[in-house]
């Protein structure tokens, strides 16, 4: 697995045969080979180990990654403390972004935003007071992740596992209902539409309630979107007979992202629900394509030919385009006959989200 030149490499994480988490660096072509090799090893002992301690005001925060804290500011009032910081993770594994603007407060937990480079993240830090909507328009912005009850992945320590953007919680209690990977229907307050979330685990707490002698047990459930909720809020397990609900939501999400323009849901009684995206019915613009046009001028001159037309906000019809071109040449148009010869057709449904390209 040797390479003559070690000028290209990736940061990865793998586990030994006994489950020990290992952080390693290798050539991209060897990444899978190293991961397979690790599985044949029982355990790897390192003579000296260390964690990076990042200062956060009056306390520190550990991480197992090589992190440089370029900016930091703390504040808050009473128990509602918090801080913001700009971090550069030099050995971000598995393609994760290494430039983040991290926000934390004791009420909402962590939120971090990824940027294409360190400079852009520092610019956002210097701005300080900025909304999520404004932040998404900043130069170099990639995405924003709300961690909620989870720790962001770059603050993992020891052999903690990473689950996407989060650190998988160390303290997860066994429970017959709230099992890892099980889906639940979460019904919102004030008759909001229900949503489906996946359980990441559960922690059991005991709280003393006034007028009760014995403390009561409460279950705090961790969800896949970073949120948490008390089991007393009555999330409903999604049974196999109700999996069509999850299927319907996933199909609708595909429609919103532009991966499809229609979907069908089959019900047990043989009936169907058909949903589709329908374009706005309008004749206010001409479709893009090649047109054959016959134009008669007021001086009696007749011009014939082909032109390629693409509608834009300023000029949305072929006729407007011809009038516009004639005016630039000092000509006056009497009548226009335009016949489309080659149409590209309407643009496909691209979904409700902005195309990053």
Domain assignment of residue 333, given as a range: 289-343
Provide the pLDDT for residue 143: 92
Whether residue 80 lies inside any domain: the answer is: yes
Digitized pLDDT (tens) for each residue of the chain, 357 residues in all: 444 444 567 778 888 876 777 778 888 888 888 888 888 887 675 543 345 666 655 556 788 888 999 998 887 655 567 888 999 999 898 889 999 999 988 777 889 999 999 999 999 998 877 787 888 889 999 999 988 778 899 998 877 888 888 887 665 667 778 877 788 877 655 445 667 788 877 877 776 666 666 777 778 888 877 777 776 656 777 765 666 776 777 777 777 777 777 778 777 677 777 777 766 545 567 777 888 888 888 888 888 888 888 877 778 888 888 888 888 888 888 888 876 666 555 555 666 554 444
The verdict on 306 and 267 lying in the same domain is no
**Same domain, yes or no: 149 and 112:** yes
247 and 223 housed in the same domain: no
**CB distance 169 to 152 below 8 Å:** no
Paired strand residues for 113: 101, 144
How many Cα atoms within 13 Å fall on the side-chain side of residue 30?
A: 15
In contact, 65 and 92? CB cutoff 8 Å: yes
d(CA 352, CA 132): 18
Are 161 and 230 contained in the same domain?
Answer: no
Question: How far, CA to CA in Å, does 10 sit from each of 2, 31, 161?
Answer: 15, 8, 19
- Whether residues 201 and 263 share a domain: the answer is no
The answer to whether 26 and 12 have CB atoms below 8 angstroms apart is: yes
Whether residue 315 lies inside any domain: the answer is: yes
Q: Which of 167, 196, 224 is the last residue of a domain?
A: 167
* Whether residue 271 is found in the same domain as residue 296: no
Beta bridge partners of 293: 305, 338
Question: In whole angstroms, what is the distance from residue 290 CA to residue 306 CA?
Answer: 7
- Look at residue 231 in the predicted model and tell me its pLDDT: 63
Task: Tell how strand 216-223 and strand 195-207 pair up.
Answer: antiparallel
In a domain, 284, yes or no: no
Residue 146, in any domain of the structure: yes
In this prediction the pTM is: 0.49
Indicate whether 35 belongs to any domain. no
User: What integer pLDDT is reported at residue 357 of this predicted model?
Assistant: 43
Q: pLDDT value at position 289?
A: 81
pLDDT of residue 173: 65
Is there a single domain that holds both residue 150 and residue 62?
A: yes
- Give, for 123, the enclosing helix (H) or strand (E): helix 118-127
Three-state secondary-structure class, residue 146? strand
Question: Are 72 and 120 in the same domain?
Answer: yes
**What was the pLDDT predicted at 102?**
93
59 lies in the same domain as 131: yes
Domain count, the chain: 4
Diameter over CA atoms, the chain:
102
Residue 304 lies in a domain: yes
pLDDT recorded at residue 193: 60
| Residue closest to 94 by CA, chosen among 39, 6, 156 | 156
- 199, 179 contact by CB (below 8 A): yes
**198 and 216: one domain?**
yes
Tell me how far CA of residue 194 lies from CA of 13, 263, 276, in angstroms.
37, 20, 22
DSSP 3-state of 155 = helix
pLDDT at 4: 47
Does residue 317 contact residue 245 with C-beta atoms inside 8 Å? Answer: no
Query: Same domain for 61 and 161?
Result: yes
Please give the Cα distance from 257 to 263 (Å, whole number).
13
Q: Would you say 100 and 153 are in contact if contact means Cβ atoms under 8 Å apart?
A: no
DSSP letters, 205-263, are EEEPPTT-SSPEEEEEEEETTS-EEEGGG-PEE--GGGHHHHHHHHHHHHHHTTS-SEE
Distance of alpha carbon 171 from alpha carbon 332, whole angstroms: 80
CA gap 252, 258 in Å, rounded: 10
Asked if residue 28 belongs to a domain, the reply is no
pLDDT of residue 104: 87
What pLDDT sits at residue 195? 76
CA of residue 230 relative to chain centroid, distance: 25
Order of strands, sheet of 151-152, starting from the edge strand that comes earlier in the sequence: 151-152, 166-167, 162-163
313 burial (CB, 10 Å; 0-12 / 13-18 / 19+) is exposed
Mark whether 66 and 153 lie in a shared domain: yes
Provide the pLDDT for residue 48.
Answer: 37
Per the domain annotation, does 153 fall within a domain? yes
Domain at 316, CATH number? 3.10.20
């Amino acid at each position: 697995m040797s390479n003559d030149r070690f000028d290209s490499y990736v940061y990865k994480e793998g586990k030994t045969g006994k489950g020990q988490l290992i952080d390693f660096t290798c050539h991209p072509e060897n990444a899978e080979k190293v991961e397979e090799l690790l599985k044949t090893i029982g355990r790897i002992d390192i003579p000296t180990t260390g964690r990076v301690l990042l200062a956060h005001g009056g306390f520190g925060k550990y991480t197992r990654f090589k992190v440089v804290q370029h900016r930091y500011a703390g504040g808050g009032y009473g128990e509602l403390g918090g801080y913001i910081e700009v971090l550069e993770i030099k050995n971000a594994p598995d393609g994760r972004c290494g430039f983040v603007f991290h926000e934390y407060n004791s009420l909402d937990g962590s939120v971090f935003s990824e940027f294409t480079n360190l400079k852009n993240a520092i610019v956002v830090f210097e701005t300080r007071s900025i909304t999520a909507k404004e932040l998404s328009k900043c130069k170099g912005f990639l995405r924003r992740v709300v961690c909620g009850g989870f720790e962001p992945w770059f603050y993992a320590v020891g052999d903690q596992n990473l689950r996407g953007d989060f650190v998988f919680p160390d303290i997860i209690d066994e429970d017959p209902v709230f099992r890892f990977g099980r889906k639940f229907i979460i019904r919102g307050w004030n008759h909001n539409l229900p949503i489906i979330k996946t359980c990441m685990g559960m922690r059991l707490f005991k709280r003393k309630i006034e007028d009760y002698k014995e403390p009561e047990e409460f279950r705090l459930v961790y969800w896949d979107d970073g949120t948490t909720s008390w089991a007393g809020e009555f999330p409903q397990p999604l049974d196999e007979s109700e999996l069509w609900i999850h299927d319907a939501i996933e199909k609708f999400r595909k429609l919103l992202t532009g991966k499809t323009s229609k979907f069908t849901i089959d019900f047990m009684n043989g009936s169907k629900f058909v949903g589709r995206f329908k374009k706005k019915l309008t004749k206010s613009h001409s479709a893009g394509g090649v047109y054959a046009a016959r134009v008669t001028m007021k001086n009696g001159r007749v011009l014939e030919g082909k032109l390629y037309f693409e509608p834009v906000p300023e000029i949305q019809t072929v006729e407007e385009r011809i009038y516009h071109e004639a005016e630039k040449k000092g000509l006056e148009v009497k009548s226009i006959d335009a016949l489309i010869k080659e149409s590209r057709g309407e643009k496909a449904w691209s979904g409700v989200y902005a195309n990053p390209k």
